[in-house]
Structure 1
């Protein structure tokens, strides 16, 4: 199928579309609810959410320019065991996401582009 959650028996996209939670509506909902951070699974999902062209380069990380000002946006690979992203890299990203989620929001609404390393993480996050 070529899309995340695109399997024949997976109704993710149909449910998302019919619920009215796609693209612009999702951004509107995020702007209304104002969570500290939004985590999107997949670069194509993020591109659609952010209104970016399909070929635009996107990194697995906290995005420097969130589509909803003041709401940090993190792009994460699919956690499925079938993911092509190695397990250790996905684990590292989950740890970075956890650290970002625990940080208080930036009152200016501007996200930092600096990538967090394992040295930035709390000692408790290094437990196996």
Structure 2
């Protein structure tokens, strides 16, 4: 996968106009793509930086319920220990709410250049209460 990502980067730069090269190269340089099964410690070590920088993380994820594969853009919020698993927690744009993702079910991780805006704390508190009830309850 990493060689595919490098080839894709080279293609994007090749088709970019001269006046676009610097911003395109800068945007591409700020993305990190990790595609390993299971997610490596090196990949996991990038998550705290994404949380601190309020970066959007794109995940390839396999559901625990029916083994469905989805791609999700997640606003990084934290890492939690839940039972026997570590969870990456964030605002899932696909589900429009807080979700937890077991690290061992993440198949692809991309830390994007997008910095997400702060969400209304009341919305987070309400959704977090629902999430805790579903997860722990």
TM-score by length of structure 1 reads: 0.30
Specify which structure has the higher proportion of strand. Answer: 2
Bigger relative contact order (CA 8 A; separation at least 6): 2
Larger radius of gyration: 2
Structure 2-normalised TM-score?
0.29
